[in-house]
Amino acid sequence: MDVVDHQTRSRMMAGIRGKDTKPELTLRRALHARGFRFRLHAPTLEGRPDLAFAQHRAAVFVHGCFWHRHEGCRYASTPSTRPEFWRTKFAANQARDAAVRTKLLAAGWRVATVWECALRKAGQAERSTEVLAAWLLSEAPELDLGAEAPERSS
């Protein structure tokens, strides 16, 4: 049973943004200040990445740890109400993320995932931006960037 009524829950869920989130804005400002130019939510790319760098042929997704299930992250908790609904929802999100990543890589794009936890604190955000900027200038095909493991590249 939910602890709030249906209308309140609906209003709360409607307030959760899909674009222009605080972590995304933090990363965009930092990359722009470093001279990187990008497209936002490019409709022509699979999965509409948060940032698309055509010059570097790179797509960057800024994922929320809760919604996209950042493995081992303290922010990836599971609500105690309706656990089966949440398991199904999270599994679908992860499957979609994996499919989008695979399609972009197959199309010749490089893919980076920057997790929300890597952008929460100013020092972490600065380090994460530096790692991402270095990745953009490199030839590495993928980057998975979270606070717990600041640089996991393949």
The answer to whether residue 110 is domain-embedded is: yes
Whether residue 87 is contained in a domain is answered as yes
1-42 confidence digits (pLDDT tens): 667 788 887 787 777 767 778 999 999 999 999 999 999 999
Tell me the residue type at 147. Answer: A
The per-residue pLDDT for range 57-102, each reduced to its tens digit, is: 999 999 999 999 999 999 999 888 888 999 999 999 999 999 999 9
Range of the domain at 143: 27-153
| 31, part of any domain | yes
Q: Is residue 93 part of a domain?
A: yes
> What is the spatial distance between Cα 8 and Cα 15, in angstroms, rounded to a whole number?
11
Q: How is residue 113 written in tokens? A: 């995932």
What's the confidence (pLDDT) of residue 14?
Answer: 72
Question: Of 42, 67, 57, 68, nearest to 105 (Cα)?
Answer: 57
**Cβ neighbour number for residue 141 with a 10 Å cutoff:** 16
Residue 73, in any domain of the structure: yes
pLDDT value, residue 45: 97
Question: Where residue 117 falls among pLDDT bands split at 50, 70, 90?
Answer: very high
Q: Which residues, including other chains, have CB under 8 Å from residue 88's CB and lie 6 or more apart? A: none
Q: With a cut of 70, say whether residue 146 has pLDDT above it.
A: yes
Instruction: Kindly report the backbone phi and psi dihedral angles of residue 128, in degrees, each rounded to the nearest multiple of 5, phi listed first.
Output: -65, -40
Eight-state DSSP code of residue 48: -
Number of other CB atoms surrounding residue 73 within 10 Å: 18
Task: Scan for tokens 């698309």, then name that residue.
Answer: 52
Would residue 32 count as lying in a domain? yes
pTM for this one? 0.85
Does residue 12 form part of some domain?
no
Query: How many domains does the chain fold into?
Result: 1
Domain for residue 3, yes or no? no
* Residue 148 banded pLDDT, cuts 50, 70, 90: low
Of 41-55, 67-81, 121-135, least confident by mean pLDDT is 67-81
CATH of the domain at 89: 3.40.960.10
